[in-house]
Amino acid sequence: MKKPYLQKIQTGCFPQLKLYKFSQLKSRIKKNEGYRNLIYYDQLEKPTIGFGHLIKKREKFLHKKKYSKKYLNILFEHDFNLALSDFNKSYKAKGLSKNSQEVLLEMIFQLGIKNCLKFKKFNKALKKKLPHMAALEMLNSRWHIQTPKRVEKLINLLLEYKDVKQR
């Protein structure tokens, strides 16, 4: 029997990502999102908590209440699974590199699937396997103005060549 951290994930279109890689992706998203156990307002003045969880109108969070890290980790896992589900519904991962998949998943986590799909030229460039063109579209976006360091980190990940298969 294989050790759990070496088994492949069988969720949706991510069969090639191993569990420890998934863990690295989650850690990177958490680091990029930051953490607060109180409600705060993001760059767009939207109420947020935990690891970048956008508080929806129907959710009842109390201002000035500190929430446990355990609860906020569960909320993060739920948000991550929603992003993964949206990714699997909207993208055909087979033709995308692992790095492209991870960049898309983090974009969906941060921006939501509707906003991610609005990056038409970016998505077209990824589909055509033109990561440099996709990176230019990322740079030429309002998203880059709002979160430049994060976008630039994702561009660097997208353009890494260790992900490309050797011929």
The domain that holds 145 is classified in CATH as 1.10.530.40
Residue 167 lies in a domain: no
Residue 163 lies in a domain: no
Residue 165 lies in a domain: no
CA torsion 120→123→127→133, rounded to 10°?
Answer: 100
Lowest mean pLDDT among 16-25, 58-67, 90-99: 16-25
pLDDT at 43: 86
Residue 143 lies in a domain: yes
* pLDDT one-digit tens code per residue, 105-121: 999 999 999 999 999 99
Both tokens assigned to 61: 């969070």
pLDDT at 22: 80
Asked whether residue 36 carries a pLDDT value surpassing 70, the answer given is yes
**What letter does residue 43 receive in the DSSP assignment?**
T
pLDDT > 90 fraction of the chain, expressed in percent and rounded: 75
Residue 140 lies in a domain: yes
Domain of residue 130: give its range.
4-158
- Is 42 tagged catalytic? yes
What mean pLDDT, rounded, does the chain reach? 86
If one counts the domains in the chain, the total is 1
pLDDT at 93: 77
Residue 164 lies in a domain: no
Residue 149 lies in a domain: yes
Q: Characterize 94-118 residue by residue with b for buried, 16 or more Cβ atoms within 10 angstroms of its Cβ, and e for exposed.
A: eebbbbbbbbbbbbbbbbebeebee
**What letter does residue 79 receive in the DSSP assignment?**
H
Residue 124 lies in a domain: yes
Interval 73-79 mean pLDDT: 97
33, 102, 106, 137: which one is catalytic?
Answer: 33
* pLDDT one-digit tens code per residue, 6-31: 333 344 455 444 444 588 999 999 99
Asked whether residue 76 carries a pLDDT value surpassing 90, the answer given is yes
Asked whether residue 100 carries a pLDDT value surpassing 50, the answer given is yes
How is the beta sheet containing 47-50 ordered, strand by strand? 36-41, 47-50, 53-54
